[in-house]
Chain A
Amino acid sequence: MRDADIERAASRAVTDPADDAVKMRRRRSGRAVAGVAGGVADHLDVKVLWVRLTFALFAAFGGAGVLAYGMLWVFVPQAKRDVRTAEVSRKERQQARGLLALGIGLAIGIGTLSNTFNGWVAGGIGVTLVGVALVWQEADQSTRRRASSLVLGEGGRGALVRVLSGAALVITGITLFLVRSVDLDQMQFALLSVLAALIGVAVLTVPFWLRLVRDLGEERRERIRSEERAEIAAHLHDSVLQTLALIQKQAEAPREVLRLARGQERQLRGWLYGPSGYGRSGDKVDAADRMTFAESVAQSCGEVEDTFAIQVQQVVVGDCELDERLTGLVFAAREAVVNAAKHAEVSEVSVYAEVEPEQVTIFVRDRGKGFDPAAVPGDRHGLADSIRGRMERNGGELRLRTAPGEGTEVQLHMPRETVSA
Chain B
Amino acid sequence: MTSEKGPVRVFLVDDHGLFRAGVRAELDSITDEVEVVGEAGTVGEAVAGIGHRKPDVVLLDVHMPDGGGAEVLRRARPENPETVFLALSVSDAAEDVIAVIRAGARGYVTKTISSHELVRAVVRVSEGDAVFSPRLAGFVLDAFADRPGAAPISDPELDLLTPRERDVLRLLARGYAYKEIASELFISVKTVETHVSSVLRKTQLSNRYELSRWASDRRLV
- Confirm or deny: A176 has a beta carbon within 8 angstroms of a beta carbon on chain B: no
Q: Is A58 an interface residue (CB 8 A)?
A: no
B137 interface neighbour in A2, A269, A315, Cβ under 8 Å: A315
Q: CB-CB < 8 A to A320: which residues of B? A: 221
Report Cα–Cα, A320/B137, bound state, in Å. 19
Residues of A within 8 A of B107 (CB): none
Task: Flag whether A363 is at the interface (Cβ < 8 A).
Answer: yes
Q: CB distance B93 to A3 under 8 Å?
A: yes
> When each residue 205-221 of chain B gets 1 if its CB lies under 8 Å from chain A and 0 otherwise, what string results?
00000000000001101
Are the CB atoms of B219 and A317 closer together than 8 Å? no
A350, closest chain B residue (CB): B175
The one of B95, B135, B221 in contact with A319, judged by C-beta atoms closer than 8 angstroms, is B221
Q: How far is the CB of B15 from chain A (nearest CB, A)?
A: 10
Are A352 and B134 touching (Cβ within 8 A)? yes
A2 to B141, CA, bound (A): 21
Q: How far is the CA of A7 from the CA of B68 in the complex (A)?
A: 10
CB pair B93 A318 closer than 8 Å: no
Contacts of B218 in A (CB 8 A): 319
> In the complex, what residues of B have CB within 8 A of residue A350's CB?
134, 174-175
Residue of B with least CB distance to A316: B138
Task: Report Cα–Cα, A284/B215, bound state, in Å.
Answer: 14
Chain A residues with Cβ under 8 A from B96's Cβ?
Answer: 2-4
Chain A neighbourhood of B145, CB < 8 A: 317-318
Q: State how many angstroms separate the Cβ of A87 from the closest Cβ of chain B.
A: 40
Once A4-B68, A273-B93, A365-B175 are accepted as A-B contacts, the answer to whether A315 and B63 lie under 8 Å apart by CB is no
* Interface flags, A247-279, vs B, CB<8A=1, else 0: 000000000000000000000010001000000
Instruction: Determine if B91 is an interface residue (Cβ-Cβ < 8 Å).
Output: yes
Contact for A3 among B63, B170, B175, CB less than 8 A: B63
A326 → chain B closest CB, angstroms: 12
B174 touches A2 (CB 8 A): no
Contacts of B174 in A (CB 8 A): 315, 350, 352, 363, 365, 409
Instruction: Check if A354 is an interface residue, CB within 8 A of chain B.
Output: yes
- CB atoms of A355 and B91 under 8 A apart: no
Cα(A317)–Cα(B137), bound, Å:
9
How far is B7's CA from A376's CA once the two chains are assembled, in angstroms? 48
Chain A residues with Cβ under 8 A from B173's Cβ? 315, 317, 352, 354
CA distance A2 to B173 in the complex (A): 23
Q: A2-B95, A3-B63 are in contact. Are A318 and B134 (CB under 8 A)?
A: no
Cβ of B79 within 8 Å of any chain A Cβ, yes or no, is no
- The B176-208 residues at the A interface (CB cut-off 8 A) are none
Q: Check if B82 is an interface residue, CB within 8 A of chain A.
A: no
CA gap between A4 and B92 in the complex, in Å: 12
Given A315-B173, A317-B173: A11 in contact with B65 (beta carbons within 8 A): yes
Residue B32 interfacial (CB < 8 Å) = no
> Which residues of the other chain, A, contact B138 by a CB distance below 8 angstroms?
315-317, 352
CA A365 – CA B175 in complex, angstroms?
Answer: 8
Write the nearest CB–CB distance from A9 to chain B, whole angstroms: 12
Give CA–CA (A350, B96) in the complex, Å: 22
**Contact check: which of A269, A292, A354, A355 meets B92 at CB < 8 Å?**
A269
Are A355 and B175 neighbours in the complex by a CB distance under 8 Å?
no
Give me 11 A-to-B residue pairs in the complex whose CB atoms sit less than 8 angstroms apart, sorted by A's number. A2-B95, A2-B96, A4-B96, A313-B175, A317-B145, A318-B142, A318-B147, A319-B218, A352-B134, A352-B173, A354-B170
Q: Told that A317-B141, A318-B142, A354-B141 touch, could you supply 14 new A-B pairs with CB distance under 8 A?
A: A4-B63, A4-B68, A4-B96, A7-B63, A273-B92, A292-B219, A313-B135, A315-B138, A316-B138, A317-B173, A350-B174, A352-B134, A352-B138, A355-B221
Pairs of residues from A and B, 9 with the lowest C-beta to C-beta distance, nearest first: A350-B175, A315-B138, A352-B174, A2-B93, A318-B221, A315-B173, A317-B141, A317-B142, A363-B174
Q: Which residues of B contact A (CB under 8 A)?
A: 63, 65, 68, 91-93, 95-96, 112, 134-135, 137-138, 141-142, 145, 147, 170, 173-175, 218-219, 221
